[in-house]
Chain A
Amino acid sequence: MMENSEDTKLIRTACPAHCGIDCCGILAHVKGDRIVKLEPADFPDERDRRICLRGLTSLDITYHPDRIKYPMKRVGERGEAKFERISWDEAYDIIIKNFKEIIEKYGWKSIGWVLGGPGAGTTKFGAYLRLASLTQSTRVSAWGYGDAGLPCGSRVILGHQFPYMHLHGEFWQRKYPELLMVWATNPAEAMPLQNMRKVMDAKEMGTQVIVVDPRFTVTASKADDYVGLYPGTDSALALGVMNTIFQNDLHDKEFISEHTNGPYLVRTDTGKMLRGRDVDEKKADAYMIWHESSNSHKTVSRSNIKEASLTGTFNINGIECKPVLQLLIELASIYTPQRTAGITGVDEDLIIKLAKRIASSKKVIFLTHMGFTRTYHGDISLRGVISVAAITGNITTSVSSGYIPATLNWNPFLKAIPDKPSFHRIGILNLYDAVISGKPYPIKALWFAFINFLNQCANSNKIIEEFYPSLDFIVQTELFMTPSARFADLILPICSFLEFSDFMAQPYPNIQLQQKVIEPLYESKSDVTIVSELAERLGFGEYFKGSEEGLIDLIMANRTFEGITRETLKTQAVLLPSLPEGASFPLSFRTPSRKIELYAEQLYEDGEALPVYLPPIEAPITPGDKKYPLTLINGHSRFRTHSMFANVESLLDLNPEPLVDINPIDAEKRNIKTNDMVTVYNDRARTTLKARVSEGVKPGVADITEGWWIEQFKEGSLNHLTHDIINPIQDKIYEPNMHMNDVAVEIIKSEGERK
């Protein structure tokens, strides 16, 4: 690292871009009031020192000529992007006036804060939550714009929001397994540092790496073998793998007995777990097992669980019962290699080899993320993968050793006044109905922060034609005139990450300060400053004392961070407290049974108690059998973090425009060649862009990487093609997800458009 010199100051900060967990430490070189260079900053473990090509170009965002420089109010029609400069005072006056009118008619509840992914940022998110809590207005949760499917599945089978620590916590601790299953995630582009480097480190240490994905991604190119399946068929593949494992008796019975609800009895008549009350046991709610040696049913206990039958059919007081595992085996038995191959498009032999390899490996780590859960039944896909991990004993404790995951002090943000009600909560996909039809209650004003809503949410035409016109007032905090900002009534200029401070508990096992490097440019302010100033005017100023720094101290007020202060973090990243060598914690799950629930009785009526395979809602599985025969998916590009960096010239030089990747088989049928302009269409919209003919996508699949701005397409955009259909079961479990990888389209060559 270079030393401070007379004219150059070095300031350590961190990139909060929404790759989230990468969160690279950045060393900024400052001359006078200008940042002249960014480079990767040091970490306690030098292997964590890193930056990506997006982070490198951050100055192109900070000093971008198109930055929104001052508050602006709309003077044209929504969408026309005609705005007029106003002062901050005027902006706050407009907000208060509009809020007051709406509150008088509909109450605070009808004002919603749409907070996108804050990336690794914490207080910029927390500030809005705190104000929403104080005003009892509506927090619009943004999990549902792609990230709700995974928590839905994880909550059902593990009882946790995320499955990551249970699936690959050891991977993050650099403990590499014999086999690494990279299931439907492309860390090489989406999480190159925190995950992909470790994939390659693992490989160097001898780990065999297998990638499961509909696209032959960069990650797949680094793998030892590749399993290319149809989008939305992951749970079928999981069942196919389980089929071979069960057929060959390769499952880990000890683990299943001890850590899953596999031995628990299910009533075949009601589909519910057999409980003590069903058989006149004292413990009415207790789960029951079939005790093998005594040939009788018993209330489950720690001492008898290993003696429970995992298979069979039992008649208990006239009630027919089967252990959960028996039901799972019966389900998997249908998914023979042949049948699974027919659904997934994966070679039969490969499925068998994969299953045997998973079952025979001493240790398997499953590295996964959100992509494959962005299908209509994506939550069950995750349960399928976790079921494979569970029946082979590859679920680990969230903390087995190493460092204790950070716990942030979220309480003052989620509930600003302990004995008063807090904000209302609505999922972003439910928001469409709330705004358009007033269901479950009317939302009249929306404040969008760190979200490019129109660009990144499903079914653009519906948003433009029905959603926006139903709103009385729209505020957007933004750096740029994004496709969404064009529809705002009021635009508030915010800082780039180099102009304000925030706290980050990333990348595991480090914590960092995103330290303000320069003063906010132009008239921009941080989200925290804006919220604090608005709160002051609403009479809640005392809750935002100290603005950014005050909130950082508040969110750090947890014993995980004992002895670590904001001051300490100004010059270094700090490692989280570590556990003593050999310390281990029991596996614990927050499901109703406190076990990994291979069977979720609460979903029996929905037909989803087991990790069943249900076909995608729209994506065609058998190519050619529908009006729209191709499945459209959207991968992530290394050139963007969602829709961020889409306007950075140095990146556009390398990757100038949106492309749709299609397989040569599909291209030939349609007489399409690389660089042809093509139109991708369905009943919702037409999107015109350049084609790239590539073997990198499975036949029957088309891929447009997400995040390109609407105006970068010749016509339409990616999300003009996607749908906003709600999966009611996800709605019931947690929050419905948008299914951007479950979309059917056709593609035709655009006439006379070839460049």
Chain B
Amino acid sequence: MSTIKRFGMVIDQERCIGCEACTIACKIENNTTDYWIKVETQGRAVKDTPEGKFPNLTMNFLPKLCNHCENPPCIDSCPEDALQKRDDGIVILDQELCTGCQSCLTACPYNIIVFDDESNLAGKCNFCAHRVDQGLEPFCVICCEGQAIYFGDLNDSSTVISQLKSEKNSFQLKKEEGTNPKVYYIPPRPKKRL
């Protein structure tokens, strides 16, 4: 077991009910105007509508947030060093240093960094580093209605999230980009039809 922490998140789509409590929780905790977590109705242009023909339907939700990539392309794109990867793997966007050039928005393959026109600053999920440093979980984790979000040290094989990541067909978004996200998803389980 490594002594260096590597914080990550596992989001279980089976338990995500698409309620957007995470979206609201994040907005409140970080006092943002834009959303740092957005919940998509997976593969659907119109939110909260299922896919298929009635009654043979499916609907799944995909909460998207900064992936805290192992190789974060946003960091190299920032001319002001406002983006930094901490030793524990959390990728921080320090709004004190941000000048609003928006180059990180283009660099992020996940299109997840937002820009606030009013403050002229970029913003994104910092894994609630201010809470993590106090030994607390990110606020979205404790506010998740479905208990679908798990947070912890991926380098510690005894943590719940390490086990979930290795046991349940977890996947990363846009793996082909080579960014190695620290946010993993577990797909919905197969249905036991009548």
Contact = CB atoms under 8 A, between A and B. Distances in A.
Interface of A: 2, 37, 39-40, 49-53, 56-57, 188-189, 192-193, 196-197, 200, 203, 208, 210, 216, 218, 220-228, 347, 350, 353-354, 357, 638, 650-651, 654, 663, 674, 692-699
A39 B48 contact: no
Interface stretch (B56-64, B101-109, B151-159): B56-64
Chain A, interface SS category: mixed
12 contacts: A37-B29, A192-B17, A192-B146, A193-B145, A216-B50, A216-B54, A221-B57, A223-B191, A694-B46, A695-B50, A695-B52, A698-B54
Contacts of A196: 17, 145-146
Contact of A650 (B18, B27, B192): B27
Contact of A2 (B18, B23, B50, B136): B136
A216 B145 contact: no
Interface string B7-40: 0000000110111110111011100000000000
Nearest to B17: A188
A698 B55 contact: yes
A56 B54 contact: no
B54 A695 contact: yes
B133 to A, nearest CB: 13
Given A52-B21, A651-B24, 9 more contacts: A39-B139, A52-B19, A56-B25, A222-B14, A224-B192, A354-B194, A654-B24, A693-B49, A696-B57
A56 B60 contact: no
Contacts of A218: 17-18, 48, 59
Nearest to A345: B55
B111 interface: no
A50 B191 contact: no
Contacts of B142: 39-40, 49
A216 B49 CA distance: 9
A208 B189 CA distance: 12
B57 A216 contact: yes
Contacts of B25: 53, 56
Which of B50, B51, B145: most chain A Cβ within 10 A?
A: B145
B175 interface: no
B3 to A, nearest CB: 27
Contacts of B17: 188-189, 192, 196, 218, 222
A56 B55 contact: no
Interface of B: 14-15, 17-21, 23-25, 27-29, 46, 48-55, 57-60, 134, 136, 139, 142-143, 145-147, 189, 191-194
Contact of A51 (B18, B21, B52): B21
B146 A221 contact: no
B194 A228 contact: no
A357 B194 contact: yes
A49 B145 CA distance: 10
A696 B50 contact: yes
Contacts of A56: 21, 24-25, 28, 143
Nearest to B136: A2
Contacts of A188: 17, 19
B65 to A, nearest CB: 16
A235 B113 CA distance: 51
Contact of B194 (A53, A197, A225): A225
Contacts of A203: 14, 189
A49 B46 CA distance: 32
Across the A-B interface, give the 4 residue pairs with the lowest CB-CB distance, nearest first: A228-B55, A221-B59, A53-B21, A694-B49
B136 to A, nearest CB: 7
Contact of B145 (A2, A37, A192): A192
Contacts of B20: 53, 638, 654
A50 B54 contact: no
A40 B193 CA distance: 36
A227 B139 CA distance: 37
A225 B29 CA distance: 37
A654 B22 CA distance: 12
Contacts of B192: 208, 224-225
Contacts of B147: 197, 200
Nearest to A663: B54
Given A40-B142, A56-B25, A189-B19, A695 B46 contact: no
A694 B189 CA distance: 24
A53 B145 contact: yes
A206 B191 CA distance: 11
A226 B27 contact: no
Contact of A216 (B18, B55, B191, B193): B55
B54 A638 contact: no
A52 B17 CA distance: 11
Contacts of B21: 51-53, 56
A663 B55 CA distance: 11
A190 B60 CA distance: 18
B7 to A, nearest CB: 20
B59 A200 contact: no
Contacts of A53: 19-21, 23-25, 145
Nearest to A223: B191
Contacts of A40: 142-143
A200 B15 contact: yes
B136 A200 contact: no
Contact of A221 (B15, B50, B134, B189): B50
A33 B76 CA distance: 45
A39 B147 CA distance: 15
Nearest to A699: B54
A225 B193 contact: yes
B32 to A, nearest CB: 11
A22 to B, nearest CB: 10
B147 to A, nearest CB: 6
A23 to B, nearest CB: 14
A694 B50 contact: yes
Nearest to B193: A225
A421 B7 CA distance: 66
A59 B147 CA distance: 23
